Structure 1
Amino acid sequence: MGHNCKRISANGRASAILLPRYDRASSDHALAARYDYFDRKVTPFMNELRMKGIFADHMRNVFVTKTFPNHHTISTGMYVENHGVIDSEYLDVKSNKTVKYSYDLYHYNNDVLPIWTLNELNGGERRSGVMMWPGSAFEYHKKNATFRVVSID
């Protein structure tokens, strides 16, 4: 797979992408984001980013109530049948073993790369930061995000 991405810049500066993750299905209801979370203006910084950037008021799940497949679709731009993350764990029928949150779960198709890896492979001074995003704990094409905080529920 070639990595011939074009560098996109705004006013001569490298563009930035911020993709916050709000999981409305969180077991901690105090942390779960309601549908009107931004309308309540309880997050002034995030609200400012919303006004100055691009904001989607809703999303359509690719896999109902499954966090890992949905988040990997967002980070790769690929559907489940291409990236292979079908759940937070699955039974590998060939080995009769359960594959849990691991490198193998996120590398069904090694040609599928998340946006933070594509950004860094684009060269130059490009750096990525990932915070608590499913799949960000693992290298893709022998590369991690420059800045990352790994945590999994």
Structure 2
Amino acid sequence: MKRRVAREKALQTLFQMQVGKISAEEALENVMEDATTEDKQDPFLLELVRETAQHLEAIDDIIKRYLRHFSIDRLANVDRAILRLGICELLYIKEIPEKVTLNEMIELAKAFGDEDSRRFTNGVLSNVLRGKLEEEKGNEE
């Protein structure tokens, strides 16, 4: 499975977890119901879902830190899922270049969000990345 498709499936899984209040395993099973056995076992997809679910509380704390003028509860479900996925990639999946993650999340926002989702996603994730880089720079000094 291509990584872009894996990201779409991970996004759909996170969305189902959130809206249906179901486990990552159940949501992934629903999303991948008609997929081949090979696709159901795609390592990148499984890593995205597992890492996001495992670090969900920390990821939501980061989202809250970078939101301006409204709460995480007011986010559209798809925007929240995209931010969760993007922050997971930025912080927990080291082999992906940050710019690739930003571009991929913006593409997901264009495909699945409304007309403001792209700018919103770009703004929040760019700020998260900037904060991450500043933190890493501070740790080096």
RCO higher in structure (CA 8 A, sep ≥6) = 2
- Higher-helix-fraction structure: 2
Normalized against structure 1, the TM-score is what? Answer: 0.33
Computing the radius of gyration from Cα coordinates, the structure with the larger value is: 1
